[in-house]
Amino acid sequence: MIEDTTKKITKAVIPCGGLGTRFLPITKAVPKEMLPVIDTPVLGLIVDEAIKSGITDILIVQAPGKESIEKYFTDAPILEKKLKDSGNNAALLTLQNITKGASFSFATQAKPLGSGDAVLYAEKFAKGEPFVLAWGDDLIHSQIPVMGQLMQAYYKKQTAILGVQTVLTDMITSYGVADTAGKQLDGDRCAKLNGIVEKPPLDKLPSRLAALGRYILTPDVFDIIRKTPFGKNGELQLTDSLNIMAQNGNLHAYDFSGKRYDMGDKFGSVCAIVDYALRDKTFGDKFKEFLKGLHN
């Protein structure tokens, strides 16, 4: 599989199909991907990461009932006019920046048939090109955008890329774990994969590298998904298709730099809000003093 390395990856796909049951009752009305980290939805921060990585075209694959996602990433001329007429230029600029920097497309996954099925909705959008895949509940804060890091790894390895990080705690049993056949990461922070083991027990860990929500996928993934057997739950799992790619020698793991938050989990969400508040230039110091006061 030889790609033209002079052609940059410009497309990103963000599946947002989960029901967010761990965040009920708010997710009865608000998609979990739209829950705020202070004043910006999780999905908005993921989109910012994509744009900062050089992505110009974004497809959001959503479940039925998540129309508010499309509304957020669509221009609002009436509201913009009201802000302009009132002289609220700061709010107007904030609003306009939501849709600035990338072109947005939307697809609705009619039935919850698994992560592999969600990716199939991107075939027409991808147009035979490699693309970034980012799950809508994995938020990563990093100095160099993680999608951009994976893109650079792809340009070097010319295979699909699985974003991973080392997890030394027992929490690793909650993730898909990279099988590197005992090989260490190379100088590019990459390792060729034999496969991915979903939620392995501690005594059968193939490595300590956990898959954490960022991928570069090559266009052959669509045919591979269609040839992938449905799982026991009647769903197409992307991991099963990636294992086929790995068996063909077409999958690398890349150990990215950044702090990842599981935004599908209440604790992960609270941690993200606290960390982003502490980093805020306008009130971060004030918030830090507030937290100190809690111990008095």
Give the pLDDT confidence of 220-238 residue by residue, as tens digits.
999 999 999 988 788 999 9
How high is the pLDDT of residue 2? 39
Q: Are 46 and 163 in contact (CB under 8 A)?
A: no
Residue 289 inside a domain? The answer is no
Whether residue 25 is preceded by a cis peptide bond, meaning omega within 30 degrees of 0, is: yes
Report the Cα–Cα distance between both ends of the chain, in Å, rounded: 61
* Segment 132-176, tens digit of pLDDT: 999 998 999 999 999 999 999 999 999 999 999 999 999 999 999
**pLDDT (0 to 100) of residue 65:** 87
**Which structural domain, as residue segments, surrounds residue 90?**
11-264
What is the token pair recorded at 191?
A: 């390792």
Q: How far apart are CA 248 and CA 178, in angstroms?
A: 16
Please check whether residue 164 is in contact with residue 253, taking contact to mean a CB–CB distance below 8 angstroms. yes
> Helix, strand or coil for residue 28?
helix
pLDDT tens-digit map of 68-78: 999 999 999 99
> Residue 3: pLDDT above 90?
no
* Of 207, 181, 209, 195, nearest in space to 250 by CA: 195
Asked whether residue 274 is assigned to any structural domain, the reply reads no
149 domain-assigned: yes
Mean residue pLDDT across the chain = 93
Beta partners for residue 132, in sequence order: 12, 216
| pLDDT at position 115 over 70 | yes
* Contact of 278 with 272, CB cutoff 8 Å: no
Please check the confidence at residue 1 and state whether its pLDDT lies above 50.
Answer: no
For residues 216-223, give the mean pLDDT: 97
* Residue 97 falls inside a structural domain: yes
Q: Is residue 296 one of the residues assigned to a domain? A: no
**What average pLDDT does the segment 174-200 reach?**
92
Domain at 111, CATH number: 3.90.550.10
- pLDDT per residue as tens digits for the range 65-107: 888 999 999 999 999 999 999 999 999 999 999 999 999 999 9
User: In sequence order, which ranges of the chain are alpha helices (DSSP H)?
Assistant: 42-52, 67-72, 77-85, 89-98, 115-120, 123-126, 146-157, 221-227, 238-247, 266-279, 284-293
Q: What is the mean pLDDT of residues 272-295?
A: 94
Residue 270: inside a domain, yes or no?
no
Q: What's the mean pLDDT in 33-39?
A: 95
Assess if residue 276 is contained within a domain.
Answer: no
Model confidence band, residue 17 (pLDDT cutoffs 50, 70, 90): confident
Number of domains observed in the structure of the chain: 1
Q: Give 278's contacts (C-beta < 8 A, 6+ positions apart).
A: 284, 287, 288, 291
Is-contact 11 125, C-beta < 8 A?
A: yes
Q: Does a structural domain hold residue 294? A: no
